[in-house]
Amino acid sequence: MLSTTPRTTLGRSKDRGSSDRNDLYEVLDAGLICHLGVVVDGHPMVLPTGYGRLGETLYLHGSTGARSLRASEGTDVCVTVTHLDGIVLARSIFHHSVNYRSAIIYGRARLLTDPEERLAGLRAVSEQLAPGQWDYVREPSPKELAATAVLALSLEEASVKMRRGGPLDEEEDYELPIWAGVLPLVTSWGEPLPDTALPEGIDVPVHIRGRR
């Protein structure tokens, strides 16, 4: 079960919330990019970034020179992941909506210094975007690792919210001669495009080709 705190308690549309921790994992594991919210130099900043999950920990990475990551260390941050599943088209413009799945995680970010955990975190981020790629390519060099910051965030304080189904119109509007329903949004991978510098004879690896 997800923990309930003042920050994770839903104020509106409470019926769309979920307390099932597995729903949190589903939303996170299906995503590719999260948004990191942090206060930098006294001002709020929200940045898209790659992430990965290992158990109850979310890992984020970026350049050691990034102000957002430096400001995140040891402070409270907010991370969000959202999937848009469709546009809900109602009979009145007021009741138009979207079907979605979303997660919000609050917590104090921890900058990783342990070499093994840093590698594990980076691998989690890589595998989130391209499963199988970490074992296929060259691992990061010491110089590359020194230029990369990895943050860890506990999933202890999180909330999940989602909407499914069709429009909810006013009772008197159901007789209007207006089409209503859901326009689903489906995201799919395209055909892999080889690098222009790729020598002949190197095929697309199975783990990339399989994403199709």
Domains of the chain by start residue, with CATH: 14-209 (2.30.110.10)
Average pLDDT rounded to a whole number, residues 78-86: 97
DSSP 90-147: -SSGGG-EEEEEEEEEEEE-EE---HHHHHHHHHHHHHHHSTTHHHHSPPPPHHHHHT
Q: Whole-prediction pTM value?
A: 0.91
Q: Lowest mean pLDDT: which of 67-71, 119-123, 131-135?
A: 67-71
The tokens 């995140």 sit on which residue? 72
Q: How far apart are CA 52 and CA 129, in angstroms?
A: 8
Average pLDDT rounded to a whole number, residues 159-167: 96
Phi, psi of 80 (to 5 degrees): -125, 145
Farthest CA pair distance, the chain: 67
The confidence band for 65, taking pLDDT boundaries of 50, 70 and 90, is: confident
Q: How far apart are CA 105 and CA 78, in angstroms?
A: 6
Query: Is residue 63 a contact partner of residue 147, using CB atoms and an 8 Å limit?
Result: yes
pLDDT score for 144:
94
Q: How far apart are CA 199 and CA 179, in angstroms?
A: 53
pLDDT score for 85:
97
Q: How far apart are CA 153 and CA 21, in angstroms?
A: 16
The tokens for 25 are 């994992």
Q: Which of 59, 27, 89, 26 is nearest to 150 (CA)?
A: 59
Q: Lowest mean pLDDT: which of 43-57, 63-77, 129-143, 196-210?
A: 63-77
Determine the Cα angle at 152 with ends 147 and 157, to 5°: 155
